[in-house]
Amino acid sequence: MLLVSAPVLGVPEKAALSKVIDSGWLTMGERVRAFEEAFAAMHGADDCVAVSSCTAALHLILYGLGIGPGDEVLVPSLTFVATVNAVLYVGAKPVFVDIESDDVPLMSIEDAEASCTSRTRAVILVHFAGYLANKQEWQTFASVRGLYIIEDAAHAPGLKEVGTFGAGAAFSFYGNKNMTTAEGGVVITRDPGLREKIRQARGHGMTTGTHQRLNSRTPQYDVTMLGFNYRMDEMRAAVGLVQLRNLQEWNEVRRILVALYRRLIAMRCPAVSMPFAEARTSAYHIMPILLPRYVNRQDVIDQLREQGIQTTIHYPPVHHMTLYRELFPGVHLPRTEDFADRELTIPLHPQITSPVAEAVVDALASALNGGARAGTAA
C-alpha cells in the first residue's frame, strides 16, 4: 500500500536511540536541550520548549497566556480536533470561523471579524497543509482588537516565518508529519517570560528538573504554579535531532512533488481542482485535492485503494463532530462544509518518486473516468 504519509527512518535513528539507552538517562536531559537549541536555531528563534505533543504545546500556550473561563478563542473547523480541544482544556469557548475559499482553505479574516465579541481573547491560525496564513493581515487584525495570535504550525516545520506571527507557535512531530519523533511537539515564543512559564508548566510546575538537580547536587525544588506532565523524553529528542538535519531537504522534495502533481493533475484530471493555486510560502505537508461535485468520493477512495493507493480526508469539520455538535449546536460554515465534502488527500512524502506520482494521477484519472459518480454507491 502506498501510504498518504510515511516517516523516513533508518540506521541513524537506530544509532541515536542506542546511545540514549546506553547512557542510562531517558528523559529531559542533554538531548532534549540540544534538540530545543537546534530547532530554535532553524526557525531563527532564541529558544524553544520541547513537549510531548502539539496538543500539549497548544494547551501550554493558552495556559501561559492566562486564557480561561469567560474567554473566547477564534478557531477554524477545518483542522484536527486537537486545535479546538486545547481551547476547552483551559475552560474557554472555541468560536468556529469559516475558511476563506476553496482555493485558500485558511481562516477567513472577514468571518473572524464578524465573530469577534468583547470576550474574544485570541485567534488560533492553522497553517493548513503547510501553507502560511497572511502574517501582515492577521497582525493588523489582532493588534486593532488586542488579541493574541497563536499559530498551529503542526503542518509547517522548517519555515522561519513560523513563530513570528504573535504570541506563540505549536509544532507537531507525530508520525505523519514532515519530521517525526513518533510523538512530540515544540513551542516557539519570542516572549522570554511566556517561554519560561511554559517551560516550567510542562513539568508539573516544578522549579527545577531532575537533570538540573543532578548537576547542581541538590535535591531541593519547589512547585510555584499548576503544571502538567508534558515533557519530551531523551529518546524522542535523539530521533528529532537526526530528523531535523534532513528536514529542509525533505521539504524541498515535497515542494518538487507538489509541483509535479499540480502539472500532472491539470493535464490528466482537469475536473479536479487544487487549493493554493497562487504561490504561497509552504512546508508542503499534504497534497489536498478537490473532487468535482458530481463524483462520489467513496468510489474514488475505493478504486484507488484497489490500486494499492491510500487516501484520506483533511478534515472532517470539527463542528460536525458529535461532541462539538452537542456543545455548540447550529453552527453552519458553508465554505468549510463544501470543502470538506469534496476534499481528498493523496500520497505525499519524500520517499515518493516521479513515476509513483504519475501512477497515482493515472489511477485518479481512471477512477474519475470509471463511473465514480454521485449516487452510484450502494
- Per-residue b or e along 202-238, where b marks 16 or more CB atoms closer than 10 Å to that residue's CB: bbbebebbbbeeeeeeeeeeeeeeebbebbbbbbbbb
In a domain, 375, yes or no: no
In a domain, 156, yes or no: yes
In a domain, 284, yes or no: yes
In a domain, 378, yes or no: no
Number of structural domains in the chain = 2
In a domain, 1, yes or no: no
- Least confident piece of the model among 38-52, 152-166, 218-232: 218-232
Per-residue pLDDT at 208: 74
Per-residue pLDDT at 135: 98
In a domain, 4, yes or no: no
Domain limit, last residue, from 206, 241, 276 = 241
pLDDT higher than 60, residue 374: no
For a pLDDT cut of 70, what percent of the chain falls above it?
95
Q: What is the rounded CA–CA span in Å between residue 372 and residue 291?
A: 11
In a domain, 3, yes or no: no
Domain limit, last residue, from 241, 266, 290 = 241
Per-residue pLDDT at 217: 65
Read off the pLDDT of each residue in 279-307 and give the average, rounded to a whole number: 97
In a domain, 263, yes or no: yes
What's the CATH code of the domain at 180? 3.40.640.10
Do 363 and 225 belong to one domain? no
Q: What is the rounded CA–CA span in Å between residue 123 and residue 328?
A: 18
For a pLDDT cut of 90, what percent of the chain falls above it?
93
Do 151 and 232 belong to one domain? yes
Q: What is the rounded CA–CA span in Å between residue 2 and residue 223?
A: 49
Do 197 and 338 belong to one domain? no
**For the chain, what is the mean pLDDT?**
95
Per-residue pLDDT at 213: 52
End-to-end CA distance of the chain: 25
Contacts of 316 (CB under 8 A, 6+ apart): 340
What's the CATH code of the domain at 312? 3.90.1150.10
Per-residue pLDDT at 212: 61
Do 256 and 204 belong to one domain? no
Read off the pLDDT of each residue in 251-262 and give the average, rounded to a whole number: 98
pLDDT band of 221, cuts 50, 70, 90: confident
* Active site members: 177
Do 294 and 210 belong to one domain? no
Read off the pLDDT of each residue in 266-277 and give the average, rounded to a whole number: 98
pLDDT higher than 70, residue 32: yes
My answer on whether omega of the bond before 261 falls inside 30° of 0, hence cis, is no
Do 345 and 203 belong to one domain? no
Do 202 and 116 belong to one domain? yes
pLDDT band of 210, cuts 50, 70, 90: low
Domain containing residue 126: 11-241
Do 231 and 264 belong to one domain? no
Domain limit, last residue, from 241, 256, 290 = 241
Do 251 and 176 belong to one domain? no
Q: What is the pLDDT of residues 48-97, one digit of tens each?
A: 999 999 999 999 999 999 999 999 999 999 999 999 999 999 999 999 99
pLDDT band of 371, cuts 50, 70, 90: low
Q: Tell the burial category of 89 from Cβ atoms under 10 Å away from its Cβ (0-12, 13-18, 19+).
A: middle
Do 199 and 253 belong to one domain? no
Q: What is the pLDDT of residues 322-341, one digit of tens each?
A: 999 999 999 999 999 999 99
Do 204 and 274 belong to one domain? no
pLDDT band of 211, cuts 50, 70, 90: low
pLDDT higher than 50, residue 228: yes
pLDDT higher than 50, residue 376: no
pLDDT band of 373, cuts 50, 70, 90: low
Per-residue pLDDT at 377: 42
Q: What is the pLDDT of residues 110-153, one digit of tens each?
A: 999 999 999 999 999 999 999 999 999 999 999 999 999 999 99
Q: What is the rounded CA–CA span in Å between residue 64 and residue 86?
A: 12
pLDDT higher than 80, residue 347: yes
Do 265 and 207 belong to one domain? no
Helix-strand-coil split of the chain, %, nearest 5 = 45, 15, 40
